[in-house]
Each structure stands twice: as C-alpha cells, then as structure tokens.
Amino acid sequence: MTGRLDGKVAMITGAGSGIGRAAAELFAAEGAAVAVLDLDGSAAEETVGKIEAEGGTALALAANVALAADVESAVARAARDLGRLDVLYNNAGVNSAGSVADATENDWDRCFAVNAKGTFLCSRAAVPYLEQGEGGAIVNQGSVAGLVAVPNFAAYCAAKGAVVALTRSMAIDLAGRRIRVNAICPGTIFTPLMEPMLRARGDGDLDAGLAKTVVKYPIGRLGTPAEIAHVALFLASDDASFLTGSIVTADGGMTAQ
C-alpha cells in the first residue's frame, strides 16, 4: 500500500457490509483512521475488528443515516475520538424492487430516506469538520440506476438520481469551503444488497439471475466491492485534487452502450 490517506480521518457509512466494508479496509490500509458507521452496530464492530487485526485504526458507530440526531452525534464522536475529519464516504444505501405501478409508498420513502436524505444529513453534519485545515472530500454513492433506467426499480432509480443531482449541487456550493464532492455510479456488484435481486431475476436460481445480468456488461462480468473501493480511494485522496462535481461510472461499460 502507498499511504495515500496517511494522517487522514475518514467516515464511511454502511461500512458493515459489501462495498462500504471493502472501502473501510482499503482506506485503513492506505493510512486513514476510519469511522465505520452502520445501522447494524455488530456489523460495524466486525469491520473494525478486521481493520485492527491488520494494525489499522478504526471506530465503530451504530447509527441510522436517515435520522439527523443519530448522524450529528456520530459525526461529532468520530471527529472527537479520531481527532479530525477529512473524508466522508456516503455509501449507506438500500434498494427496493417495483415499478411505479406497484412500488409501495413505504418503498419510496425508505429509498429516499436512506439514499438521498442520508447523504444530505451526513454531509451537513460533516461540513464544519471537513472545511478545517487543508479541506476535505465527500464521495457519494450513486448507481448506474441514477443515470439510466433499471427495470422495476422506480424508487431506487429516483433516489440515486437525486444523489447524482445533489452531488453536483454540493460540489458548487462547497468548492469555496475547500470541500470536493464527487459521486461513484457503480454497475452491479455482487454484495448482500444485490443477491435477492439477482435471485429474483433468475426466478429463484442465483446462477440464472447472474447470467441474465452479466450479458448487460461489455466487460463480461460483474464488479467486486474492492473495485469500487479503489475508485472511492482515488476520489477521497489528493490524487483527485482537481475533481469536484464529477460523476464517475464504474460499471464495466454498462452505460457506454
């Protein structure tokens, strides 16, 4: 590892699983102290255990990104216990299946509460810390679903579209406060979030669902959590010092077609 986040403190939401966990482990290996936030406190503790086993520094925080009080106390605790805050990776997210004809009001509200409002609340709480010193970086987790339509994912597509628009808005509003804001739009990554969807796509057969999905990817396979974590590392690090307001697709060519 190259120490690209040496001396920095990063908070990653939804870091108890999937992409967030991979990013927490990578950021720690690159020298950051990592605040590992998740709704599932024991999953956050597990990620912290993995980082500490490799000699890294991490702090577990059980919090719901959709609740302002939870978020504000988690961000304040991260900055206090780890000494500062330089990077926020708004990764926590949920999806829900259903077209606009059959999605429930609850599907819509949950998708927006976690994906869109959670990004707003965490960013708002973090700005006073991120703007200190040399400035900071926010990485938002979008999705290809925020750029092109994914069939029968109406609420998720709309919420990720909101994350993409919010990223551009935050980038111009926070540039003068020395905070860069960029988004990643991953294609399908095999994580616990996607497994039920892939299984449903194969009428209960995971391999059939995977086969139906892979054909949409020119690169011929799905992505891995580590591949998205590396994009987040770039955007969070000083290597991306001239990037703000960028929407970076990491999708094996899916949206290039």
Q: Which residues bind ligand NAD (CB under 6 A)?
A: 13-14, 16-20, 38-40, 43, 64-66, 91-95, 114, 118, 141, 143, 186, 188-189, 191-194
> Of the two residues 64 and 152, which places its CB atom closer to ligand NAD in the complex?
64
- Please state the closest distance from residue 118 (CB atom) to ligand NAD, in A: 6
Question: Which pair of tokens denotes residue 29?
Answer: 């290996």
Polymer length in residues for the chain: 257
Pinpoint the alpha helices (H) of the chain: 18-29, 41-53, 68-82, 105-111, 118-130, 154-174, 195-201, 206-214, 225-236
Distance of CA 85 to CAs 63, 143, 158, Å?
17, 25, 30
Q: Quote the least distance from Cβ 1 to ligand NAD, whole Å.
A: 22
What single-letter amino acid sits at 63? A
The helix-helix angle for 41-53 and 18-29 (nearest 10°) equals 30
Is the CB of 77 or the CB of 178 nearer to ligand NAD? 77
Q: Whose Cβ is closer to ligand NAD: residue 19's or residue 130's? A: 19
Could you tell me the two tokens for 91? 């990764």
The residues, ordered by sequence, that sit 6+ positions from 240 with a Cβ below 8 Å of its Cβ are 137, 180, 182, 234
Shortest spacing between CB 140 and ligand NAD, in angstroms:
9
Crossing angle for the helix pair 18-29 and 225-236, nearest 10 degrees? 50
Minimum Å distance from CB 114 to ligand NAD? 4
**Closest to 159 (Cα-Cα) out of 125, 185, 191:** 185
Instruction: Give the H/E segment covering residue 256.
Output: none
Q: Based on CB atoms, which residue is closest to ligand NAD, 43 or 162? A: 43
Measured from the CB of residue 123, what is the shortest distance to ligand NAD in angstroms?
A: 14
- Distance, in Å, from the CA atom of 33 to the CA atom of 27, rounded to the nearest integer, reads 8
89 included as an active-site residue: no
- Residue (13 or 237) nearer to ligand NAD, CB: 13
Amino acid at 113: A
Tokens of 115: 């994906």
Q: Catalytic residues, which ones?
A: 156
